[in-house]
Structure 1
Amino acid sequence: MPYIEELLPTIVVALVFWFVIRAVSNVDRSERAAEAKADEQINITAHHEDNKSPKADN
């Protein structure tokens, strides 16, 4: 039993550290996906505007 009492704080800190790193990793992954989607929308919009033919002023 004394071994468990001495190892328990280390185990708890390791689990908290693991959860925090996992959360940060998930947030980073979500942010990268959102940024890629926004960049794709910007590129589509820019490509669409480049392909418009200008109207002739008569």
Structure 2
Amino acid sequence: MAVPKRRMSRSNTRHRRAQWKARAPQLVPIVVDGRAYLVPIHLVRAYERGLLPLPDTSA
């Protein structure tokens, strides 16, 4: 694991951490067994293969 050679100031650490922003996953429609679901784009193949349980749509 990479380890910094010098101590980073508190200001620089917080400024760097503040640049990370979480984003909502991009949802795409898929059809499984005749029903449409909205799932994250990177999990489409897993849902189609049946590796993950389909999300409950009765909200």
**Which TM class, normalised by the smaller chain length?**
0.3 to 0.5
More helix by share: 1
Greater fraction of residues in strand: 2
Q: TM-score, structure 1 length as denominator? A: 0.33
**Taking structure 2 as the reference length, what is the TM-score of the superposition?**
0.32
